[in-house]
Chain A
Amino acid sequence: MSTPTRAPERGPGGGGIATGTKRRGDGLFRGTATGAGVLILLVLAAVAVFLVYEALPALSPDAEVDGGSLTAYVGPLLFGTVLAAVIALVVATPVSVGIGLFISHFAPRRAAQGLGYLVDLLAAVPSIVYGIWGIVVLSQWMVPVYAWLTDNLGFIPLFAGPASASGRTILTAGLVLAVMILPIITALARDIFLQTPRLHEEAALALGATRWEMIKYSVIPYGRSGVVSAAMLGLGRALGETMAVALVLSVSNVVTFNLISSTNPSTIAANIALNFPEATGIDTNVLIASGLALFVITFLVNFAARWIVARSGAKA
């Protein structure tokens, strides 16, 4: 348009290409986004610094820790944490993928929506409620199951027993955790399955694939990396979960793969929650040191998840 007289008063105009124009909105937005990014790093760094600083007294070799050394104390806790989280993951992932596929590809549209809301609602239940449910309901249900497992599958070390009479075992805790991480994995899995390109689905259908075969050929390969990262998010939550485990588990400081006996390793987070209020002096430092271990483990898990996702993403 060669009508320079009609150029607006503000903004670039009046002839030639404007130089040095500052767009305020742009700068503001960039500043806010950068600030948010830096803030999360600062918070993370502050947490790490706090943990290391407070844990230092316990990390020195001559520190007095009940149970002997720090490793002898934190080791079983770390083991219990990972064990409970892995149980939760092993149980929750297949169920979540199943629910996700049902919602995205099998359920009638209206039922799918309702079910989706219901699953999201599960995520909003406070963890203490799950803990109470675990101790009052689930552990009672599991008592006869554990008895049966010892009697019939006792040759598998996992179920060697003797079966816990209260049902408050690491397996129960793992199952409660599974229910807790179910919604997050399901929600992510459902979303990724829904995004499967129609073209990929039709490629399979046009070859004479049944519904299940179409899912196997198109939906699952497409969603695999997403499901892995969803599972890792769930694992992260299971590792850090506190109240439910603290309520359910009856603990002793041991390392055992026996999932259904009354001697169970505690988890780091639950152990901190139970002991921190009464801890003084070096005990406080020891608890914080265990927190540092959890921090590192969670970090590693997320790192591994990223790596897996990046690797399988590159292949697709």
Chain B
Amino acid sequence: MSKLIDVSDLNIFYGDFLAVEDVNMTIEPRAVTALIGPSGCGKSTFLRSLNRMHEVIPGARVEGKVVMDGQDLYDKDVDPVSVRQHIGMVFQRPNPFPTMSIYENVAAGVRLNAKRMKKSDLDDLVESSLRGANLWNEVKDRLDKPGMGLSGGQQQRLCIARAIAIRPSVLLMDEPCSALDPISTLAVEDLIGELKNEYTIVIVTHNMQQAARVSDQTGFFNLAGVGKPGKLVEIDSTSTIFSNPSQKATEDYISGRFG
């Protein structure tokens, strides 16, 4: 199910403002790709352009190509809704649907995509998704309780369960642990390690140790100054980036000399 994404000559705009310039990268399947860099360098913006969530902001647009499965996601015949069904997303802050129960939250994506499902099949799907998100044992006795009643870390895993319930090929994570305590962070990181067996994962993180722990390849974004566009400085295997980067800027950043 997991797929490779090929990004070429991608420029990302907010109105007339060029936010991210000329990104070229290949995102490997069945692997975790981490994106690191200082605040405002465009890594989240880039991530959101991979499943066409960028364009929900008024005036936001993209030039260039994002190819998955031989299909350019920005081809004018492509429906962004269908892109998002194939490329799931987990956000910075957990965002379960506040009025829905745990069960309904997980089932939401399937119901949205208008697939008719037997109750028993849906039950199985909810269970397997919650198991996939390492949450089943904690919530199996209270599936009908509101999702908002869970702790922050549990909510975030609920959101991951919700995202994987629609069986996407790719999972994008935008700083998924930044609102979580260390123990919940560990739970989510363990989960990422398991999920990469099935999904292509792209994770944006501010935490370099996290990138080093969970990812197989790491991309470093940087920007020349305020008001200048962000750029992909380099992307390589995580061990290379953290031990022997080819760019000086990368070395400065990971060794904590700036950023």
Partners in one complex: yes
For the side of the interface on B, what is the size category? 20 to 34
B214, chain A: closest CB distance, angstroms: 21
Q: A202-B56, A213-B112 are in contact. Are A208 and B99 (CB under 8 A)?
A: no
B109 touches A202 (CB 8 A): no
In the bound complex, residues from chain B placing their C-beta under 8 Å from that of A203 are: 91, 95-97, 159
- State whether the Cβ of A40 lies closer than 8 Å to any Cβ in chain B: no
Q: Which residue of B lies closest to A199 (CB)?
A: B95
B81-114 CB contact bits vs A (8 Å, 1 = yes)?
Answer: 1101100110101011111100000001100110
Which of the residues B85, B91, B98 comes within 8 Å of A208, measured between beta carbons?
B85
Asked whether, in the complex, the Cβ of B98 is within 8 Å of the Cβ of A200, the reply is: yes
**Chain A residue at minimum C-beta to C-beta distance from B88:** A206
Of all chain B residues, the one with the shortest Cβ separation from A220 is B99
In the complex where A109-B58, A202-B56, A202-B91 touch, is A207 in contact with B99 (Cβ < 8 A)? no
Q: Is the CB of B163 within 8 A of A202?
A: no
Complex interface: chain B residues within 8 A of A315 (CB): 99, 146
| Contact (A221, B97) CB under 8 Å given A206-B84, A206-B89, A207-B162 | yes
Distance in angstroms from A288 CB to nearest chain B CB is 45
Q: Is B97 within 8 A of A208, CB to CB? A: no
- Verify A208–B108 contact, CB threshold 8 A: no
Q: A109-B58, A218-B97 are in contact. Are A206 and B53 (CB under 8 A)?
A: yes
- B217 at interface, CB cutoff 8 A: no
Q: Is A209's beta carbon under 8 Å from chain B?
A: yes
Q: Indicate if A132 sits at the interface (CB-CB under 8 A).
A: no
Check if B166 is an interface residue, CB within 8 A of chain A.
yes
A222 at the interface (CB under 8 A from B): yes
Give Cα A109–Cα B108 distance, bound, in whole angstroms.
Answer: 30
Q: Residue of B at shortest CB range from A208? A: B85
The answer to whether the Cβ of B51 comes within 8 Å of any Cβ in the partner chain is: yes
Find out whether the CB atom of A208 lies under 8 angstroms from the CB atom of B84.
yes
Q: Is the interface of A mostly helix, strand, loop or mixed?
A: helix
**Which residues of chain B have C-beta atoms less than 8 A from A221's C-beta?**
97-100
Select from chain B the residue with minimum beta-carbon distance to A216: B112
Within 8 A of B (CB), among A193-244: 197, 199-210, 213, 217-218, 221-222, 224
B56 touches A208 (CB 8 A): no
Tell which of B81, B159, B163 has the most Cβ of chain A within 10 Å. Answer: B81
- What chain A residues lie within 8 Å of B93 (beta carbons)? 199
Residue B99 contacts which of A199, A202, A316 (CB distance < 8 angstroms)? Answer: A316
CB-CB nearest in chain B for A224:
B99
CA distance A205 to B96 in the complex (A): 13
Q: Cβ of B53: which chain A residues have Cβ within 8 Å of it?
A: 202, 205-206
Say yes or no: A208 contacts B96, CB within 8 Å: no
Shortest distance from the beta carbon of A218 to any chain B beta carbon, whole Å: 7
Contact indicator per residue, chain A 291-316, by CB within 8 Å of chain B (1) or not (0): 00000000000000000000000011
Please determine whether B81 and A208 come into contact, CB atoms closer than 8 angstroms: yes
Q: Do B98 and A207 touch across chains, with their CB atoms under 8 A apart? A: no
Alpha-carbon distance A201/B89, docked complex (angstroms): 13
Q: Mark B204-231, 1 if CB is under 8 A from A, else 0.
A: 0000000000000000000000000000
Cα A210 to Cα B112 in complex, Å, equals 9
The answer to whether B84 and A207 touch across the interface, beta carbons within 8 angstroms, is yes
* Assembled-state Cα–Cα distance A209/B166 (Å): 12
A205 and B112 contacting across the interface, CB-CB below 8 Å: no
Q: How far is the CA of A204 from the CA of B163 in the complex (A)?
A: 10
CB-defined contacts of B109 to chain A, threshold 8 Å? 207-208
Closest Cβ of chain A to B237, distance in Å, is 29
Q: How far does the Cβ of B71 sit from chain A's closest Cβ, in whole Å?
A: 16
For residue B60, give the distance in angstroms from its CB to the closest CB of chain A.
13
Is there contact, CB below 8 Å, between B112 and A208? yes
User: Mask for A59-80, Cβ within 8 A of B = 1, else 0?
Assistant: 0000000000000000000000
* Closest chain A residue, CB of each to CB of B148: A316
CB distance from A164 to the nearest CB of B (A): 44
Say yes or no: B163 contacts A207, CB within 8 Å: yes
Distance in angstroms between the alpha carbons of A208 and B58 in the assembled complex:
18
Determine the distance from Cα of A7 to Cα of B257 in the docked complex, in whole angstroms. Answer: 41
Name the B residues within 8 Å of A217 (CB-CB).
97, 108, 112
Chain B residues closer than 8 Å to A208, beta-carbon distance:
81-82, 84-85, 109, 112-113, 166
In the assembly, what is the distance between CA of A206 and CA of B88, in Å?
6
Q: What's the least CB distance linking B59 to chain A, in Å?
A: 10
Q: How far is the CB of B209 from chain A (nearest CB, A)?
A: 26
> A202 to B89, alpha carbons, bound, how many Å?
9
B47 to chain A, nearest CB (A): 11
B166 in contact with A199 (CB, 8 Å): no
- A202–B95 CB distance below 8 A: yes
Set of chain B residues within 8 Å of A209, measured between Cβ atoms: 81, 84, 112
- 10 extra interchain contacts, Cβ-Cβ under 8 A, other than A199-B91, A200-B98, A203-B96? A199-B95, A202-B91, A204-B112, A207-B162, A207-B166, A208-B113, A213-B112, A217-B112, A218-B97, A222-B98
A-B contact pairs, 13 of them (CB 8 A): A201-B56, A203-B97, A205-B53, A206-B91, A207-B84, A207-B112, A208-B112, A208-B166, A209-B112, A217-B97, A218-B97, A221-B97, A316-B99
What 8 pairs across the A-B complex have the smallest Cβ distances? A208-B85, A206-B89, A221-B99, A207-B109, A203-B95, A199-B95, A208-B84, A209-B112
Report A's interface with B, CB cutoff 8 A: 109, 197, 199-210, 213, 217-218, 221-222, 224, 315-316
